[in-house]
Structure 1
Amino acid sequence: MTRPPTTAQRRVINAADPLTGRLRGTDAQLAALVKRGLAFRHPRPPHEHFLTPAGHRVRETPAEEPVEAPAPAESGVFAARVGGEESAESTPARLREVHGAWQGLLELRRMTNPGGARDRPCAWERAHLVRAAALALEAAGH
């Protein structure tokens, strides 16, 4: 259990970008969040601050509930929803995972296609057609 963030810190956390977790606040607020392990400062310029997984959990829990230690993931690997899943709700954490997976797939396309083309499927997508299509649909909001 960690000490709950102050009201000002919670405002900064709640105002973070929902997908990237980019924070905006005073230097003192951001430094306090980094000290608590709820944010980190990016090492490259312009040295923006972003929420850590613990910061995202704080954002997703109501203010009166204490934040518990993270539960280990079942497999730790992202899996696109291809049908038959028990819970198909779109939580903020799931939206971040989908966004990150889609950005990774676009980067894979850029690295493997001739000329760095991102508009054509890559070899992985051709080999895993169902998962690639499910990821594309989920990233598009369907």
Structure 2
Amino acid sequence: MIRRLLGALGILLGLYGAWLLLSRQDLDQLVGAATWLAGGVVVHDFLLAPVVLVVVALGARLLPAQVRAPAVVGLVVLGATTLLAVPVLGRFGARSDNATLLDRDYTTGWLVLAALVLVAVTVAWLVRWRTSRGERSARGLRPGR
């Protein structure tokens, strides 16, 4: 029952949003929005998804088992954040007459994020490695095997 109510609420909110979009935009703005939406689907399906699949396939072959899951999480976090940060990293929209737009060093911020993700992936790998090593020694196997 609650699922149906939430579904109905979602449909109503979606219809309200569509009505707002269609009633407050001119035709060229709607065409621009549709172009961006279609472009996002095309870029995702024909560029981003194949690149991710190739990286995952290479990682599955090259990385040890304990590193795979942390590396995937790190790549997903860093990849998604990088895609969202492209406009500010490229300084698209910066204007010389308004110094308050894009007023930070976003490249340094992204590098700090990348370093933090790398540290988190390394810590996760070390925890997995120590845990698997402890399980092996508890079963009477040497840690190197």
More helix by share: 2
TM-score, normalised via structure 2 length: 0.29
Structure possessing the higher radius of gyration over alpha carbons: 2
TM-score, normalised via structure 1 length: 0.29
